[in-house]
Structure 1
Amino acid sequence: MLLLGIDVGTSSVKVSVVDAATHQCLAAAHFPETEAEIITPYPGWAEQSPDQWWEYVKQAILKCNAAGNYNPKDIGAIGIAYQMHGLVLTDKDGHVLRNAIIWCDSRAVEIGNKAFDEIGREHCLQHLLNSPGNFTASKLAWVKHNEPEIYNKIHKIMLPGDFIAFKMTGEITTTNSALSEGIFWDFNQESLSSDIMGYFGFDKTLIPAIQPLFTSHGSLKESVATRLSLQAGIPIAYKAGDQPNNALSLNVMEPGEVAATAGTSGVIYGVSNELGYDPYSRINSFAHVNHSEALRRIGILLCINGTGIFNKWIRTITGGGQSYATLNEAAAVVPVGADGLLAIPFGNGAERMLNNQIVGAHFEQIDLNIHGSAHMVRAVQEGIAFSFRYGLDIMRGNGMNPQVVRASRANLFLSDVFTHAFAGVNQVSVEFYEGDGSYGAAIGAGIGSGIFSSVAEAATGRKPVSIIHPSHTDVYEERYAAWKSSLENRMEILKQQEAVSVN
């Protein structure tokens, strides 16, 4: 039996076909070839077209089929992973009403902060494990307040993965994990949050049917199956946000285990068995893929918006024609610490771990006689690694103290400069595994369809292909201290400017 995994990312859609018997990936593809556009009509806004995601999904599957490594008719189940926190709105005919407001959009920060205060901070944290913040529920409230003509046409709201499953099956469902990432879920009641629905005045009919994560979310429509050379009627057997799904792909399922990604955004994701929360909601707690009322498994997520997007920016600025591999090779020639150059990477909207401040990206301590483009690239990748350290220290203060982090060799983890900086400044070993988010989605489909009897069976044979241990820790610690001082000075200046503007 073959399994199809789909990962709806911010920069592209990736798909993999996995042989359930051997756990081997037979083929993989992504679409588009260049990084997908983020639409920014105003500063701090970030949108993408859900219909465009669907076109990318179809093209990626057809591209994967064209490799000729398998018979598409042998695919028996489909799993979907997706960029978290996005808001998709459809009318009663299933038509998209506006562009999706995606994860790095900052327009709803004040709405979420106001809800946090008025519902009650401690109450929110105890029940939602988070502030409403800048998450999906607050984005829906923004639409209600600012685009009432659109809001009044809404039949169902969806997370990005819910939408792709709907396009494949015609059925609309969601999960407790999806609702928890949108801050619609009450963990004390293990149900839809009456606090959020009541405070914002949302009708419960807007929420799709809630189903277990590992189950059928509909069967593939004949029209879609014909277009993609697949078998009609096979189930969409799994849907999960990209970070819980990445953890599944790395077999990060039990308390204390930790995964990391460094794509458009950067994430550290650990598993806990406690309903814990950060009092300032700088890190966030969601239902993990194996969470239930009987078996508590909470994903603790640190998200850094300004990660791969900063690396992409520096590639463009220093000559966008060169490959990332060439960029990484040039940075590797520069000494650890980039000869004193510092880069602050927070230029992609409000950062939750910085209390939703918009700090911006910038360089400091530039020496015009020393620093060139390779120094800038190294400083960017080290600055991103330092931002992981800043966030991991918050997680450590909340009881998550990893010695080992699991990751896939993908995106920024393809760079030895970034990888060694990450290991060195965080003083953790990094275990690398084959596969990516689309591989994890395929494995999830195997669990949800019953092809695998358990998560343990699905993880059979998963072993690290390489391990990076921390090195140059003293140098990284010294440079991190300078970087942290620069960041906190910048944050203090912004607070003072805000206080002056208010007065």
Structure 2
Amino acid sequence: MSYVIGVDLGTSAVKTVLVNRSGEVVAEHSESYPLSQPKPGYSEQRPEDWVDGTVTSLRKLMEESKASPESVEGLSFSGQMHGLVLVDGEGAVLRPAILWNDTRTTAQCRRIEDTLQGQLLDIARNRALEGFTLPKILWVQEHEPQILEQAERMLLPKDYVRFRLTGQYGMDYSDAAGTLMLDLARKAWSTDILDAFQLPHSLCPPLVESFEDCGTLLPEIAAQSGLLPDTRVYAGGADNACGAIGAGILEEGQTMCSIGTSGVVLSYEERKEVDFEGKVHFFNHGEKNAYYIMGVTLAAGYSLDWFKKTFAPSISFDELLSGVQDIPEGSGGLLFTPYIVGERTPHPDAEIRGTFTGMDAGHKLTHFARAVLEGITFSLRESIDILRDSGKTIDTVISIGGGAKNEAWLQMQADIFNADIVKLESEQGPAMGAAMLAAYGSGWFPSLQACAAEFLRESKRYTPQPQAAEKYEELFGLYQEVYHRTRELSSALAKFR
């Protein structure tokens, strides 16, 4: 038996999966690591924690599976996007990584927009948002210039881990697209953008395809992880690109909804000239010469996690959500907006904050729990509508992540999106996408589509209920009004935070 390994470097933990030639996950393991928030709006991690967690997870994966090291043909990565890692000429980290959910860079975003104006969307195809990498580099340039002067390379999280495992620098196109420094159509670092901010071109690592061979494990890493030094390592991709691969989003018309800490609606796209005017993200796919369109809800699963920790810390998620299926659509006249850390799509607004609207004395915990689920799904529906308005037909959506683990929530997605929702038989999300990149890179299949056909199987399909879909259509209109009616209030309240 031969295997590949997918490594998913998340915000709270790294997950490794061992996958055989039939696409079966024969073992998995995860290792958590801390998140540092030294000031309001700051979010940082120690890159060495990622390396230590990855090596430990690989070792435990091999020990628990009892697979022979010789049977592992390759491994690849999925990684949290946008995070800035700066290293010196020796590859040593110069400061903690600034993560995707760090919001300190509003002033730098305005500087990017004022400097580049229309060029930004023409070249990078995305707006300047606090989460992206270029604003983080400019923050370091302005606040820690001595650090940037020492920096030889800018890396993203998974690329730093891969560098530490192989000694080779590189960044794939799907992750590079989230830096705001890539010319997406040309698949090259943008000299115009780098020069506009006096950034040395050498700061950017070589660009590679997601399935490209990036070398083998360093001897000391192989010894620590329980793998062989000649284990092939493939570039990997951004977590959302790998999530798309792991869900089989590899052809025109295919769409997925991924609900994790954040929520993502993602659709495959071949038209590189399509213009969404920055309303959604437009990134290179892990598939060669393809793209994906993506709308983001910043606090999707995070909203549910916050709600449970704040209002029901002593019960499990299953207990919290038991009974939500018995509450009618609209949660008894209660609306929730999941803006608890700001919002991304369709409102790139770091100041907006969440609301419960319509509370009365008759509402119980279950009404609030259902309202949170509905609010998250309404936010994702806004991204679905942008894609539909571009001419896409979205009648089927593959659901992965936390939103695919609850029957009532899956049916809710079908009713709110007014589309069939498909749950996969074995849903591993980005980790599976990383494993598929390793399988394709190792020559197991002639294409990623052939790999998906072998690895992925539909488990259950949820179809819209006409009456529920009609009610949700009316409620969705009310949901959309809440942002516009609370935006000024949120802005005024910001000085009291």
Q: Flag the 1:321–1:480 CA change in 2: closer, same or farther, 3 A.
A: same
Q: Flag the 1:88–1:251 CA change in 2: closer, same or farther, 3 A.
A: same
Deviates more, 1:448-457 or 1:283-292: 448-457
Count residues in correspondence.
488
Partner residue of 2:464 out of 448, 456, 470: 470
2:25 matched residue in structure 1:
25
- For residue 201 of structure 2, what is the amino acid of its counterpart? K
- For residue 431 of structure 2, what is the amino acid of its counterpart? S
Deviation of 1:365 (Å): 1.3
Confirm or deny: 8 A CA contact 1:108 1:138 kept in the other structure: yes
Per the alignment, in what secondary structure is the counterpart of residue 212 of structure 2? coil
Residue 61 (structure 2) pairs with residue 64 (structure 1): yes
Confirm or deny: 8 A CA contact 1:26 1:69 kept in the other structure: no
2:6 matched residue in structure 1:
5
Deviation of 1:391 (Å): 2.2
Partner residue of 1:244 out of 233, 241, 244: 241
1:323-334 equivalences under 5 Å are 323-334=316-327
1:144-223 equivalences under 5 Å are 144-223=141-220
Per the alignment, in what secondary structure is the counterpart of residue 458 of structure 2? coil
2:275 matched residue in structure 1:
277
Deviation of 1:69 (Å): 5.0
Residue 121 (structure 2) pairs with residue 125 (structure 1): yes
Per the alignment, in what secondary structure is the counterpart of residue 346 of structure 1? coil
Looking at structure 2, the residues matched to 261 and 187 of structure 1 have their Cα atoms a distance apart, in angstroms, of: 23
Looking at structure 1, the residues matched to 62 and 472 of structure 2 have their Cα atoms a distance apart, in angstroms, of: 45
Looking at structure 1, the residues matched to 302 and 13 of structure 2 have their Cα atoms a distance apart, in angstroms, of: 13
Looking at structure 2, the residues matched to 18 and 456 of structure 1 have their Cα atoms a distance apart, in angstroms, of: 17
Confirm or deny: 8 A CA contact 1:378 1:417 kept in the other structure: no
Q: Deviations over 1:243-290 (max 9, x none)?
A: 1111111221122211221000000111111122322x2311011112
Looking at structure 2, the residues matched to 47 and 349 of structure 1 have their Cα atoms a distance apart, in angstroms, of: 18
Looking at structure 1, the residues matched to 279 and 490 of structure 2 have their Cα atoms a distance apart, in angstroms, of: 18
Partner residue of 1:388 out of 358, 380, 384: 380
Per the alignment, in what secondary structure is the counterpart of residue 486 of structure 1? helix
Looking at structure 1, the residues matched to 100 and 391 of structure 2 have their Cα atoms a distance apart, in angstroms, of: 26
1:100-499 equivalences under 5 Å are 100-121=97-118, 123-134=119-130, 135-275=132-272, 276-279=274-277, 281-292=278-289, 297-367=290-360, 369-408=361-400, 410-433=401-424, 434-436=426-428, 437-461=430-454, 462-471=456-465, 472-494=468-490
Per the alignment, in what secondary structure is the counterpart of residue 442 of structure 1? helix
1:93 matched residue in structure 2:
90
- For residue 220 of structure 2, what is the amino acid of its counterpart? S
Q: Which runs of 5+ in 2 are unaligned?
A: none
Looking at structure 1, the residues matched to 313 and 384 of structure 2 have their Cα atoms a distance apart, in angstroms, of: 32
Looking at structure 1, the residues matched to 167 and 248 of structure 2 have their Cα atoms a distance apart, in angstroms, of: 31
Q: Flag the 1:282–1:38 CA change in 2: closer, same or farther, 3 A.
A: farther
Confirm or deny: 8 A CA contact 1:113 1:131 kept in the other structure: no
Confirm or deny: 8 A CA contact 1:31 1:56 kept in the other structure: yes
- For residue 403 of structure 2, what is the amino acid of its counterpart? L
Looking at structure 2, the residues matched to 224 and 190 of structure 1 have their Cα atoms a distance apart, in angstroms, of: 32
Deviation of 1:324 (Å): 1.8
Deviates more, 1:191-200 or 1:46-55: 46-55
- For residue 194 of structure 1, what is the amino acid of its counterpart? T
Looking at structure 2, the residues matched to 221 and 30 of structure 1 have their Cα atoms a distance apart, in angstroms, of: 22
Give TM-score scaled by structure 1 length: 0.92
Confirm or deny: 8 A CA contact 1:90 1:97 kept in the other structure: yes
Deviation of 1:330 (Å): 4.1
Q: Flag the 1:371–1:424 CA change in 2: closer, same or farther, 3 A.
A: same
Looking at structure 2, the residues matched to 350 and 337 of structure 1 have their Cα atoms a distance apart, in angstroms, of: 22
Q: Flag the 1:117–1:168 CA change in 2: closer, same or farther, 3 A.
A: same
Deviation of 1:190 (Å): 3.1
Give TM-score scaled by structure 2 length: 0.93
Deviation of 1:497 (Å): 8.2
Deviation of 1:485 (Å): 1.6
Looking at structure 2, the residues matched to 420 and 487 of structure 1 have their Cα atoms a distance apart, in angstroms, of: 25
Looking at structure 2, the residues matched to 149 and 352 of structure 1 have their Cα atoms a distance apart, in angstroms, of: 35
Percent of counterpart pairs with the same letter?
25
Per the alignment, in what secondary structure is the counterpart of residue 67 of structure 1? helix
Q: Flag the 1:81–1:327 CA change in 2: closer, same or farther, 3 A.
A: same
Per the alignment, in what secondary structure is the counterpart of residue 221 of structure 2? helix
Looking at structure 2, the residues matched to 75 and 312 of structure 1 have their Cα atoms a distance apart, in angstroms, of: 36
Looking at structure 2, the residues matched to 218 and 15 of structure 1 have their Cα atoms a distance apart, in angstroms, of: 19
2:17 matched residue in structure 1:
16
Confirm or deny: 8 A CA contact 1:48 1:101 kept in the other structure: yes
Per the alignment, in what secondary structure is the counterpart of residue 264 of structure 2? strand
Q: Flag the 1:393–1:423 CA change in 2: closer, same or farther, 3 A.
A: same
Looking at structure 2, the residues matched to 388 and 440 of structure 1 have their Cα atoms a distance apart, in angstroms, of: 22
Confirm or deny: 8 A CA contact 1:84 1:241 kept in the other structure: yes
Per the alignment, in what secondary structure is the counterpart of residue 217 of structure 1? strand
Per the alignment, in what secondary structure is the counterpart of residue 80 of structure 1? strand
Confirm or deny: 8 A CA contact 1:270 1:400 kept in the other structure: no
Looking at structure 2, the residues matched to 352 and 199 of structure 1 have their Cα atoms a distance apart, in angstroms, of: 27
Deviation of 1:173 (Å): 0.9
Deviates more, 1:68-77 or 1:214-223: 68-77
Q: Deviations over 1:366-396 (max 9, x none)?
A: 11x2122222211111110011112222222
- For residue 450 of structure 1, what is the amino acid of its counterpart? G
Confirm or deny: 8 A CA contact 1:238 1:441 kept in the other structure: no
Per the alignment, in what secondary structure is the counterpart of residue 26 of structure 2? strand
